[in-house]
Amino acid sequence: MNNSKIKQINIASATKEFLAQPHKLLIDGVWVDGVEGKTIESRDPATNEVIAKVAIGGRQDIDKAVIAARNAFEGPWSKLTHFERAKLLSRLARLIESNTDLLTEIEVLDNGMPTNIARLTIHNIAEMCDYYAAAAQRIEGTTTTPPRHITDQAEALTYTLREPVGVAGLIVPWNVPASTAVLKLAPALAAGCTLVMKPSEETPLSALLLGQLCLEAGIPAGVVNIVNGFGSDVGEAIAQHHDVDKVSFTGSTQTGRKIICAATGNLKKVSLELGGKSPVIVMPDADLDLATVGVAMATFFLQGQNCMAGTRIFIHDSIHDELMERVKLFTEQMIIGHGINPATMIGPLISQKQWEKVQRYIEIGMSEGATLFSGGQKLEGEGHFVQPTIFTDCTPDMRIVREEIFGPVMTVQRFSTLDLDEIARMANDTIYGLSGSVWTQSLSTAHSLVARIRAGQVSINCHGAVGTNIPFGGYGQSGWGREFGQEGLDAYLETKAVTAQF
């Protein structure tokens, strides 16, 4: 393994040791190679250097993992009380906390995100485990009135039970890998499910470390199974598998459609967290200092590789030019570099493929007649870096405005109306409906506009206000269902209604 660049970057010896160890599949509590013995290379997107060799599975490995998960579901795991499952999740939270530095560095090296963001996501995943540990203790049914045709004959009692949905297949993307993994794993375990997780082939590492921590926390063998591999193979096998009761998928809208089709065989339950093209609306009375940073970070946070990214910016005519000059100044001062460098604000894109896709969209923007206001120049050298790029004078029909680019490309449209219905129509002119934000100092404008926006999460004077306890998910083609909060747990529970006649 060539990790010469890794040696030059200042990373902890624990990280080097983790990278050097074998990276296998976790099936039935044991680390194993895939049946076909295949591996992939995991690369640091900032240097393109290989950082680890990782075993990948195929369909036969998914069969083995599902059998392990089914046996575990029907075994002693099903006898654990809510409180015992909560205790395991709390232990996992403490282990995540004590491994924060390691998880942070793995996430930075595997994904490219800046260290401060990676650290925050690791803090958040410990919080998620604690949150769902507490939520597990409150899983409760209700009592209700028995049906009349029963009570006409005899006394009766009707109540509901909340039961785990069964074996859950969890399919995870690469853009915030540890966070998305735990966002599925923690509520699934809290509910009493067992699981087979497939991390993204682009970022296979942090899930393996989490798997190790699950074992250390005492989560029984077979409850958590992790199979790295490709989507068209391992991912599809999970979505199709007749003994998987539920699939929870986060990824592109295009793949989401394939998941739905693959899941029809046994009509498994499906949760989808998909793409976005979120609006950011800046009204004439917005606080421009706040909006400057807000607009820039709405698009450029995580290099734009963020499902909530606010990539359609709408600015009122009266402030457009001044605000955009400020956004440009702020953007051009953002430090681009290796995520390990604490000063870095913009890391690399995940892969050469993603880099090429984003460069293509920059060319499309220019050919469509948008004004290249900032960035857009190809960055030479190693790593998949893209300059934060701003297009102004955009129109609603442009591809750069309509399609999810998933890179640091901002599109700006100006508007002159103050009619909130008209403004909302512009914002809602998209197939997506994941996120959005409104920037104004008027409470009534803010709330009136928020009420008109068709999206699962809308923020006022901030953007992407995601939190462990706050439900998150999409309207339109941004998804089915919600993650985070109580709704994130409900997604792994069935309700059984019981009537007893006596």
Positions marked active-site: 273, 307
Min separation Cβ 277 and ligand NAD, Å: 9
Residue pair 429/476 in contact by the 8 Å Cβ criterion: no
Q: Is 251 in the site for ligand NAD (CB under 6 A)?
A: yes
Dihedral sign of CA atoms 119, 124, 130, 133 in order: negative
Q: Is 61 in the site for ligand NAD (CB under 6 A)?
A: no
| Both tokens assigned to 111 | 């994904």
Is residue 318 helix, strand or coil? helix
Residue pair 354/292 in contact by the 8 Å Cβ criterion: no
Q: Name the one range near ligand NAD by CB under 6 A: 72-80, 141-149, 159-167, 224-232.
A: 224-232
Q: Name the one range near ligand NAD by CB under 6 A: 106-114, 172-180, 321-329, 377-385.
A: 172-180
Range 110-149, binding ligand NAD (CB under 6 A): none
Please state the separation of Cα 103 from the chain's center in Å: 17
Min separation Cβ 165 and ligand NAD, Å: 19
Q: Which is nearer to ligand NAD, 487 or 494 (CB)?
A: 487
Is residue 480 helix, strand or coil? strand
Q: How far apart are CA 284 and CA 302, in angstroms?
A: 28
Q: Is 232 in the site for ligand NAD (CB under 6 A)?
A: yes
Tokens 């706050």: give the residue: 470
Q: Is 245 in the site for ligand NAD (CB under 6 A)?
A: no
Distance set, CA 469 to CA 21, 73, 134, 168, 459 (Å): 36, 27, 11, 22, 15
Q: Which is nearer to ligand NAD, 235 or 310 (CB)?
A: 235
| Both tokens assigned to 500 | 């007893």
Min separation Cβ 276 and ligand NAD, Å: 5
Q: Name the one range near ligand NAD by CB under 6 A: 5-13, 166-174, 186-194, 407-415.
A: 166-174
Q: Is 275 in the site for ligand NAD (CB under 6 A)?
A: yes
Nearest Cα to 262, choosing from 277, 275, 244? 244
Range 254-273, binding ligand NAD (CB under 6 A): 255, 258-259, 273
| Residue in 404, 438, 477, 492 binding ligand NAD, rule: CB under 6 A | 404
Nearest Cα to 208, choosing from 216, 259, 433? 216
Q: Is 194 in the site for ligand NAD (CB under 6 A)?
A: no
Cα dihedral angle (56, 61, 67, 71), rounded to 10 degrees?
A: -40
Site string for ligand NAD, 294-313 (x = CB under 6 A): -------------x------
Q: Is 276 in the site for ligand NAD (CB under 6 A)?
A: yes
| Residue in 132, 314, 406, 415 binding ligand NAD, rule: CB under 6 A | 406
Residue type, 422: E
Q: Which is nearer to ligand NAD, 355 or 406 (CB)?
A: 406
Range 476-495, binding ligand NAD (CB under 6 A): 479
Q: How far apart are CA 239 and CA 171, in angstroms?
A: 9
Q: 435-439 and 457-460: which strand pairing?
A: parallel
Q: Which is nearer to ligand NAD, 165 or 307 (CB)?
A: 307
Min separation Cβ 309 and ligand NAD, Å: 8
Where would I find the H helices in 137-232? 148-151, 177-191, 205-217
Beta strand segments in 45-150, E:
49-55, 143-144
Residue pair 373/390 in contact by the 8 Å Cβ criterion: yes
Q: Which is nearer to ligand NAD, 211 or 276 (CB)?
A: 276
Q: Which is nearer to ligand NAD, 305 or 440 (CB)?
A: 305
| Residue in 434, 449, 453, 489 binding ligand NAD, rule: CB under 6 A | 434
Burial of 334 (C-beta count, 10 Å sphere; 0-12/13-18/19+): middle
Residues near ligand NAD, by CB under 6 A? 171-175, 198, 200-201, 230-232, 235-236, 239, 250-252, 255, 258-259, 273-276, 307, 404, 406, 434, 474, 479
